[in-house]
Amino acid sequence: MSTDKIADPSHIRHWPGDMEADYIYTLGVAGERFFKEIKENVRIMGAKCSCCDVVFVPPRVYCEKCFTRLDKWIDVGTKGREKCTRSQLPQSVWMEKNWRHQ
pLDDT in tens, 51-92: 999 999 889 999 989 999 999 999 998 877 777 767 776 777
pTM recorded for the entire structure: 0.55
What is the number of helices (H) and of strands (E) in the chain?
2, 3
Of 4-8, 17-21, 64-68, the range with the highest mean pLDDT is 64-68
d(CA 45, CA 65): 19
d(CA 42, CA 53): 24
User: At 37, is the pLDDT very low, low, confident or very high (cuts 50, 70, 90)?
Assistant: very high
Strand-pair category, 45-48 with 72-75: antiparallel
